[in-house]
Amino acid sequence: MAQQSGGSIINFSSINALLGPSNMPGYVTAKAGVVGMTKALARDYGESAIRVNAILPGWVVTERQLNTWLTPEAEADWMKQVALKERLQPSEVANLALFLAADDSRMITGQSFTIDGGRT
């Protein structure tokens, strides 16, 4: 990227890095570490015009979620916790990643973007 006059690195964390749910210390620590690494790498690579940002999604409704965890009760509980009463779709996370990869975000680096329908 440095030889190509810059670029964009997009890391993925989770809102659990912010919420710190119980019984998940390893996962929460790892996801929080991604946020810290994003900040550090943004400084390290900035002189090479490489931007580094992180996306922290909430509960994205994927096939795995639908087949494994998204029961009507779990979804009702989730909807009580969010401001926007809709399911977060993979395409919405992808659109945020596309923006961060594009030149439109050329002055954004070292940031963590939460996309969770207003839960956090």
Q: Where are the domains of the chain?
A: 2-59+87-115
Q: How confident is the model at residue 96 (pLDDT cuts 50, 70, 90)?
A: very high
Helix (H), strand (E) at residue 95: helix 90-101
User: Per the residue annotation, which of 1, 20, 27, 33 is the catalytic one?
Assistant: 27
Please indicate, yes or no, whether the overall pTM of this predicted structure exceeds 0.95. no
Give the separation between CA 14 and CA 29, rounded to whole angstroms: 11
Residue % of the chain over a pLDDT of 90: 93
Q: Per the structure block, which two tokens stand in for 61?
A: 């409704």
Rounded-to-10 torsion of CA 35, 40, 46, 52: -20
Give me the architecture of the 2-59+87-115 domain, per CATH. Answer: 3-Layer(aba) Sandwich (3.40)
Tell me if residue 27 is catalytic: yes
Whether the pLDDT of residue 69 is over 90: the answer is no
